[in-house]
C-alpha cells in the first residue's frame, strides 16, 4: 500500500510492468470522453497518468497516493507537463476526496486501490460529487490477493465473500450507472460508471 525505499522502487516498476494491459484498457474506456480534467486515485509511478496526458492532453491532471516514494516518482515523471497542465499531486488516501478543490472531473480512475478504502460508501459519495455529469469513473479491481494482505484489508465489502456483488450494489446506491463490467485479461476486473440509475 505504501511502497518505500529500494524495495519500493523495485515494487513500483514491477507493478507498472504487470499493470500495462490494465492501463491500456483504461485508456480505451476514457476515449469517449477525451478528458480535459483527470483525477487518479493511487497513481503509483505515474505511468497511467503519463499515458493519459499523451493520449488526451488534459489541461488539469490531479491525483492522490499514500506513498511518499510514489509521490516523488510520479512527480518527477509528470513535472514536464506542468507548463501545459494544472498539475496537482497530493500525498494521502481516499479521505482527501471529500474536500478536493477546483471543480469536477471528466475522468476519475482508481486501479488496484479500492480494496484499501476503509469507508467505500463515503468515498463513492465524494466521487459522485466530483464526477462531471457526462464523466466516467473507471475502477480496476484486483481479483487475486494473498492471504496475508486479505487479513488486514480495511474494506469490509472486499472481505464479504461477494466483493463484486457488494461493489455493484454500493455503486447503484450512490447514484452510479455501470456502463462496462468485465473480467480483464490480467485477471483483474474492470468497471466503468457514469451518473444515473441503471437502465
Q: How far is CA 59 from the centre of its chain?
A: 18
Is the distance from CB of 30 to CB of 56 less than 8 angstroms?
yes
Is the distance from CB of 105 to CB of 12 less than 8 angstroms?
no
H-type alpha helices, 79-199? 120-130, 147-152, 163-173
Is the distance from CB of 98 to CB of 73 less than 8 angstroms?
no
Nearest Cα to Cα of residue 47 among 71, 78, 26: 78
**Predicted pLDDT of residue 153:** 87
Is the distance from CB of 179 to CB of 137 less than 8 angstroms?
no
Q: Where are the domains of the chain?
A: 5-195
Q: Which fold has domain 5-195?
A: Rossmann fold (3.40.50)
Q: How many Cβ atoms are within 10 Å of 47's Cβ, its own excluded?
A: 21
Dist. CA 197–CA 170, nearest whole Å: 12
H-type alpha helices, the chain? 5-18, 20-30, 47-56, 68-78, 120-130, 147-152, 163-173
pLDDT tens for the chain, 199 residues long, are 555 554 555 555 667 657 789 999 999 999 999 999 999 999 999 999 999 999 999 999 999 999 999 899 999 999 988 877 789 999 999 999 999 988 899 999 999 999 999 999 999 999 999 999 999 999 999 887 766 667 778 999 998 889 999 999 999 999 999 999 999 998 999 999 999 864 4
**Predicted pLDDT of residue 6:** 45
Q: What is the DSSP letter of 132?
A: E
Grid cell at residue 56: 488526451
pTM: 0.89
Dist. CA 44–CA 40, nearest whole Å: 9
Amino acid at each position: 500500500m505504501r511502497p518505500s525505499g529500494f524495495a519500493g522502487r523495485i515494487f513500483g516498476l514491477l507493478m507498472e510492468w504487470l499493470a500495462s494491459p490494465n492501463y491500456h484498457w483504461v485508456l480505451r474506456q476514457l476515449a469517449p470522453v477525451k478528458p480535459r480534467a483527470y483525477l487518479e486515485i493511487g497513481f503509483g509511478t505515474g505511468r497511467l497518468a503519463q499515458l493519459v496526458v499523451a493520449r488526451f492532453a488534459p489541461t488539469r491532471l490531479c491525483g492522490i497516493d499514500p506513498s511518499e516514494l510514489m509521490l516523488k516518482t510520479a512527480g518527477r515523471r509528470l513535472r514536464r507537463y506542468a507548463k501545459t497542465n494544472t498539475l496537482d499531486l497530493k500525498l494521502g488516501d481516499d479521505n482527501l476526496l471529500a474536500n478536493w478543490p477546483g471543480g469536477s472531473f471528466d475522468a476519475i480512475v482508481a486501479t488496484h486501490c479500492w480494496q484499501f478504502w476503509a469507508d467505500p460508501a463515503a468515498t463513492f459519495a465524494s466521487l459522485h460529487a466530483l464526477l462531471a455529469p457526462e464523466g466516467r469513473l473507471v475502477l480496476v479491481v484486483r481479483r487475486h490477493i494473498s492471504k496475508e494482505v486479505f487479513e488486514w484489508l480495511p474494506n469490509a465489502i472486499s472481505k464479504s465473500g461477494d466483493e463484486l456483488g457488494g461493489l455493484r450494489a454500493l455503486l447503484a446506491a450512490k447514484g452510479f450507472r455501470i456502463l462496462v463490467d468485465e473480467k480483464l485479461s490480467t485477471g483483474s476486473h474492470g468497471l466503468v460508471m457514469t451518473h444515473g440509475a441503471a437502465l
